[in-house]
Amino acid sequence: MNELKIIIGRSNESLGQAIASYIGIEPTKLLLTNFSDGEIRVQILENIRGKDVFIVESTQPPAENIMEVLLLIDAAKRASARRVTAVIPYFGYARQERKDRPRVPISAKLVANLLVAAGADRILTVDLHSPAIQGFFDVPTDHLTADGIFRDFLLSRMNDELKRGEVVFVSPDIGGVKRIEPLAKELGAPIAVVYKRRDAPNVSSVMFLVGEVDGKVAIIRDDIIDTGGTICSAAKILKENGAKAVFSLVTHPLLSGPAVERLAQSTLDMLAVTDTLPLKSSARENLGERITVVSIAPLLAEAIKSIHEEKSVSVLFEMKF
């Protein structure tokens, strides 16, 4: 693996370190600081000429995280890296992915254009808010899903309930049905849907439930938990309809605004998230054992090795982690 280099940005250093450790290499040495006025200063301190470079950086707010990955890509290209892959565990600015009303940007396309313009030769990301965003990139893009990580987590936690048919997968909205189908099918569980009308950004109104959850463990699967309103409302209606427990599997734990307080006061029994984003300390303090972090590092590390060795990435969907 001498030609593989891992560069870790500051948006999620712990995940980057875990990926490098899993692969068995040391992260590339960097000078990554800020000038006194706040501008980001980047210098790669090792020779990467002709190397296969992977830059690990999530692009959640603040926008400096996007600027940082752009500068890291540019620095790697100017240092004559053979190939630069932007590893973006959480692809931010993805919730405006279409022009659904007058005078709005298509933010996801803009960020995709910026990454390619900076010099990214390939993109590796996890659970895009909309799968169609994969087509926004004009370079090869590998779109992974956390389903395999969560599948193994569920099998270790509730294998008996799965065998007895006591588990139902729930989409918190109609648009997320396709997201829960693969995991439900693989584990042989039925699905249900919470119908929701969104009246404004970050505000949701739960209407009714489609499906049977009485006496079952209801598992809500979603890509993002932001303010927590959707999942908390879904958990309430599921309990009202007889669910004996409500778990939630969410890839990206943004947990902004009142999210932690809402979750602490909700009927949700457990929230499992991945480490595509650093978990806020307030979440651990207020939720305790009700929140679990399942690492995405093995999945991303295996994907990086497959890309580096020019092997198929699709086989990762069948791997056990």
pLDDT confidence of residue 122 = 98
Average pLDDT over residues 251-263: 96
- What residue ranges in the chain does DSSP mark as E strands? 4-8, 30-34, 40-44, 52-56, 83-88, 122-126, 141-144, 167-171, 191-200, 203-210, 217-225, 245-253, 270-274, 291-294
Instruction: With beta carbons less than 8 A apart as the criterion, state whether 1 and 25 touch.
Output: yes
Predicted confidence (pLDDT) at residue 204 exceeds the cutoff of 60: no
Predicted confidence (pLDDT) at residue 232 exceeds the cutoff of 70: yes
| Whole-angstrom distance, CA of residue 18 vs CA of residue 296 | 9
Cis peptide before 62 (omega within 30 of 0): yes
Higher pLDDT, 175 or 182: 182
Instruction: With beta carbons less than 8 A apart as the criterion, state whether 30 and 45 touch.
Output: yes
pLDDT confidence of residue 202 = 59
pLDDT confidence of residue 251 = 97
Q: Per CATH, which fold does 4-145+298-318 belong to?
A: Rossmann fold (3.40.50)
Residue 104 CB: number of other CB atoms within 10 A?
10
Between the CA of residue 137 and those of 63, 89, 149, 212, 241, what are the distances in Å?
19, 16, 26, 40, 43
Instruction: State pLDDT tens for residues 109-166.
Output: 999 999 999 999 999 999 999 889 999 999 999 999 999 999 999 999 999 999 999 9
Active site annotation includes 244 = no
pLDDT confidence of residue 259 = 97
CATH architecture of 147-294: 3-Layer(aba) Sandwich (3.40)
pLDDT confidence of residue 207 = 66
Q: How many residues does the chain have?
A: 321
Predicted confidence (pLDDT) at residue 49 exceeds the cutoff of 90: yes
Average pLDDT over residues 41-69: 97
Question: Which residues belong to CATH 3.40.50.2020 in the chain?
Answer: 4-145+298-318, 147-294
Predicted confidence (pLDDT) at residue 27 exceeds the cutoff of 80: yes
Nearest CA-CA partner of 222 in 162, 269, 173 = 173
pLDDT confidence of residue 17 = 98
- List the catalytic residue out of 196, 236, 244, 320: 196
Report the predicted TM-score, pTM, of the whole model to 2 decimal places.
Answer: 0.93
Work out the percent of the chain whose per-residue pLDDT is above 90: 85
